Structure 1
Amino acid sequence: MHILVFSQYHTNPDCPATSRHYSLLAHIARYHRVTLITTRTWEQQRLTQEFPWLPEGVEMRAADIPYHNRMGPARRVLAFGQYVAYAYREGLKVDKPDVIWGISTPLTAAWVAARVARRRRVPWVFEVQDLWPSFPIAMGAVPAGWARQRLFALEKSLYQSAAHVLPLSPDMTRYVTDLGIPAAKVTTVLNGTDLDLAARATDAAVAALRQEYRLEGKQVVLYAGTFGRANDIPTLVAAAEELAAQNPDMCWLFMGLGYHEPLIREAAARCPAIRLVPPQPRHAVFTWFRLAAVSVVSFLEMPVLDANSPAKFYDSLAVGTPVIVTNQGWTKAFVEQHGAGWFVPAGQPDALATKLLELLAQPEKLQTAGQRGKQAARQLFDRQQIAHTVKQVLEKAATLR
């Protein structure tokens, strides 16, 4: 079977990114022919050269289209449009596929997958990584009312035209079915994590990292990910400074890049307990999570963000580090159900500092929660199992002609 994949951003484990689809494509390509239409955006951002850029068996067609998080809305829209034009042309040139897999975000990548599927008269599967256009609209990136209406109409039409829909969280699934899409046509496939890479976070690797970064005797709090507008970073910085004044053995690491990096850099300059760590390759990030006593997964208090499926949530639990979440959605329900973490409302630095102070004084409680999270991760977050589910959905969809 030939599977044609539309994904604007391809990464591998040498990149400072989740590399979800690297794992999924590697599994699926063992059974089927896979052609990926993407861009070279991340290829120049590799931090190491340990992994091949493409999984074995995957064919790639890639456009040189610049993109980065510092781009404004207009420049991002241009990049999305350039990918659509390239992907549409290439999608009509490749050997006819049996099924098409369209991966959003952005929504335009799913749209071009649907267009090519219609033109070539093959079924397509829609993977929903984030709720677009709800997220950019909530963040004020689409001010015109007519544009918002058009985008919502486009979104619903894509759900309707897809043979199957793959949301990355239970809350996303609920959102899709609430639009009238039959539940039988929707399968939740969690973002998940790479348990083989998590196994690299050994005691020796953690000890070496502690020594290299002079963290011996420190209780580490970790935020790893994008420093974006949606991530409530000012709250974390304020909580870190408050906590540092009360717990001299605490060190809060902020690992990543993004909009709020200057804010973190300024805080680190005035508070030695706050450190800014550069982005790490995918295969190394797990040791940083295991080094931490607790990690924080934060978002602004917006209903659309409650549905998120953040990689750092899965990665932390996979190595036995409990998580504090700040959104009200399924991650809150998950950590409470499994005893793998805690909830603190977004935008409340005092409450976050108080909870962390309480937890850091109870290392046994942190360890117990971490072990519960690790057990849940083994059962529910393995990307090899998720890849098998995606493969089955694609195989079934290919029969719906």
Structure 2
Amino acid sequence: MHIAVFSQYHTNPDCPATSRHYTLLTHIAKAHRVTLLTTPAWKGQRLSQAYPWVPAGVEIREARVPYNNKMGTARRALAFAQYGLWAVREGLRIDRPDVIWGISTPLTAAWAAAQVAHWRKVPWVFEVQDLWPSFPIAMGAVPTALARQQLYKLEKRLYASARHILPLSPDMTRYVTDLGIPAGKVTTVLNGTDQELAAHATLEAVQALRQQQELMGKRVILYAGTFGRANDIPTLVAAAEAMAATDTDAVWLFLGHGFFEPLIAAAAARSPRQIRLVGGQARHEVFTWFRLADVSIVSFLGLPVLDSNSPAKLYDSLVVGTPIIVTNQGWTRALVEQHNCGWYVPAGDAAALTTKLQELLAQPEVLTAAGSRGQALAIEEFDRQRLAQRVQIILEDASGKR
């Protein structure tokens, strides 16, 4: 079977990114022919050369469309349009696929997949990584009422035309079915984590990293991920600075890049012992940082659309036994409270976050027990190898050739 994959952002484990689809494609390409239509936007951000750019068996076609998360709204929109138009042209040139897999974000990637599916008369599967256009609209990136209306209409058409829909969280699934899409054509496939990469975070590796970073005897709070506008970074910085003023044994580590990097850098300059901007880490190395931490933060702004997020850092933290604090009211709060593997603090409340962290760091046995419960959950439910099997079956069923 031939599967065409439309994804604007391809990454591999050498990149400071989740690399979800690298794992999924590695599994699927063992059984099927795969053509990936993407861009090399992340290729220049590789931090190591431990992995091939694409998995064995994957044929790659790349559009030379630049993109990074520091771009303004207009520049991003141009990049999305450029990729979408290129992907339609390229999708009509490749050998006819049996099924198309369109991965949003952005919505234009899914639009391109749907267009090619229509013209080639093949089914397509729609993977929903974030709720578009609801997310950019909530962030103020779509200023006119007409544009918002047209994007919502496009979203509904794409849901209707897809043979199957794969949202990354139960809240996303609920959103889709609430639009009138039959529940039978929607399957939740969580973001998940890479257990084989998590196994690299041995006690020896953690100890070596702790010594290298001069963190012996320190209690570590970790934020690892994008420093984006949606991630409530100013609240984390405010909490870090409040703790730096009174608690010399607690150290905040910020791993990543993005819009608020200068804000973090300024705080780190003011409190270099308690606040550190580490920068991005390769996917296969980030798990050691998670295991090093006493607790990690999974933060977003308090917008309802963000409650549905399925952030990789949640799964990556839990799989190595590090408990988490979440700041959203949605399914992630329900998850950590149901399984007692983390805690909820409202978004935007730096004082509440500071108080909760001080309370938890004073009870290491509570953190250890919560981390153990989270690790057991992650091993049982969040393994990307199992998720890859599920996605492969859905693609096979959609093609009608299983």
| TM-score scaled by length of structure 2 | 0.99
1:49 aligns to what? 49
Letter in 2 for 1:55: P
Q: Post-superposition shift, 1:241? A: 1.4
Q: Post-superposition shift, 1:51? A: 0.3
Q: Post-superposition shift, 1:247? A: 2.2
Distance in 2, Cα, partners of 1:41 & 1:352: 35
CA RMSD of aligned residues (A): 1.0
Q: Post-superposition shift, 1:245? A: 2.6
Distance in 2, Cα, partners of 1:142 & 1:61: 30
Question: Once the two structures are superposed, what CA deviation does each residue of 1:116-143 show, in whole Å capped at 9, x if it has no partner?
Answer: 0000000000000000000000000001
1:343 aligns to what? 344
Distance in 1, Cα, partners of 2:85 & 2:232: 35
Tell me if 1:143 matches 2:143. yes
Question: Once the two structures are superposed, what CA deviation does each residue of 1:276-305 show, in whole Å capped at 9, x if it has no partner?
Answer: 001000000000000000000001100000
Letter in 2 for 1:308: N
Distance in 2, Cα, partners of 1:64 & 1:18: 22
Q: Name which of structure 1's ranges 246-255 and 191-200 shifts more when overlaid on structure 2.
A: 246-255
Distance in 1, Cα, partners of 2:66 & 2:317: 31
The number of aligned residues is 401
1:328 aligns to what? 329
Distance in 2, Cα, partners of 1:130 & 1:307: 8
Distance in 2, Cα, partners of 1:135 & 1:14: 28
1:262 aligns to what? 262
| TM-score scaled by length of structure 1 | 0.99
1:284 aligns to what? 285
Q: Name which of structure 1's ranges 79-88 and 350-359 shifts more when overlaid on structure 2.
A: 79-88
2:188 aligns to what? 188
Quote the sequence identity (%): 70
Letter in 1 for 2:368: Q
Distance in 2, Cα, partners of 1:93 & 1:258: 36
Distance in 2, Cα, partners of 1:269 & 1:103: 39
Question: Once the two structures are superposed, what CA deviation does each residue of 1:243-263 show, in whole Å capped at 9, x if it has no partner?
Answer: 223322100001111111111
DSSP-derived class of the 1:395 partner: helix
Letter in 1 for 2:363: Q
> 4+ runs of 1 displaced by more than 2 Å?
244-247
Letter in 2 for 1:106: P
Distance in 1, Cα, partners of 2:300 & 2:114: 31
DSSP-derived class of the 1:397 partner: helix
Distance in 2, Cα, partners of 1:273 & 1:240: 8
Q: Name which of structure 1's ranges 83-92 and 344-353 shifts more when overlaid on structure 2.
A: 83-92
Distance in 2, Cα, partners of 1:267 & 1:215: 19
DSSP-derived class of the 1:247 partner: coil
2:310 aligns to what? 309
Unmatched tracts of structure 2, length 5 or more: none
Letter in 2 for 1:315: D
Matching of residues 87-236 of structure 1 within 5 Å: 87-236=87-236
Distance in 1, Cα, partners of 2:37 & 2:231: 30
Q: Post-superposition shift, 1:73? A: 1.1
Distance in 2, Cα, partners of 1:246 & 1:190: 39
